[in-house]
């Protein structure tokens, strides 16, 4: 199982400090694309590390976003929560697969990672529109 100790100490420290803050949608999309790239490269160790970093960043993002989303119209908030739940489930499945080395068929990891990027893109758009509109 890969550990973060494989990273050089100073860049790792900088990376961790930078990543401790909740990321916005674009930064999450960048991490999701890194997961997709690692899965496509058939590098199980890199895929697992990328999936772990994405999952941790997603958790922080969702915690930070809970307050603003609580002020959205209830029906829309319900729809957005369902989208978040779907992304969380997909990220958990992808992390589980990556932790097992993306077993055969490997294309499942790639497909899940691609779906993660697509769903996150749609969710980011929907949340952006919801949060930029005043609640009714």
Within-domain flag for 18 = no
Structural domain for 46, as ranges: 23-132
Q: Is residue 78 part of a domain?
A: yes
Residue 106 lies in a domain: yes
Query: Is the bond preceding residue 120 a cis peptide, omega within 30 degrees?
Result: no
Instruction: Count how many Cα atoms sit within 13 Å of the Cα of residue 48 in the half-sphere of its side chain.
Output: 15
Average pLDDT, the chain: 84
Residue 107 pLDDT greater than 80, yes or no? no
Give the tens place of pLDDT for each residue, 34-47: 999 998 987 888 99
Provide the number of structural domains found in the chain. 1
Q: Is residue 112 included in any domain, yes or no? A: yes
User: What CATH number is given to the structural domain containing 52?
Assistant: 1.20.120
For the question of whether the overall pTM of this predicted structure is more than 0.85, the answer is no
Residue 64 is assigned to a structural domain of this protein: yes
Q: Let me know if residue 116 belongs to a domain.
A: yes
For 113-124, write each residue's pLDDT tens digit: 999 999 999 999
For residue 16, being part of any structural domain is answered with: no
């Amino acid at each position: 199982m890969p550990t973060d100790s494989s990273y050089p100490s100073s860049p790792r420290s900088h990376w961790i400090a930078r990543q401790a803050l909740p990321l916005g949608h674009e930064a999450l999309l960048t991490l999701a694309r890194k997961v997709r790239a690692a899965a496509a490269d058939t590098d199980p160790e890199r895929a697992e590390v990328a999936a772990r970093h994405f999952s941790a960043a997603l958790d922080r993002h969702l915690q930070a976003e809970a307050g603003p989303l609580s002020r959205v119209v209830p029906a829309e908030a319900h729809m957005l929560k369902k989208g978040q739940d779907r992304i969380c489930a997909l990220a958990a499945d992808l992390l589980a697969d990556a932790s097992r080395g993306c077993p055969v068929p490997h294309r499942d990891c790639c497909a899940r990672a691609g779906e993660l990027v697509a769903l996150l893109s749609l969710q980011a758009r929907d949340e952006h529109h919801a949060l930029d509109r005043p609640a009714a």
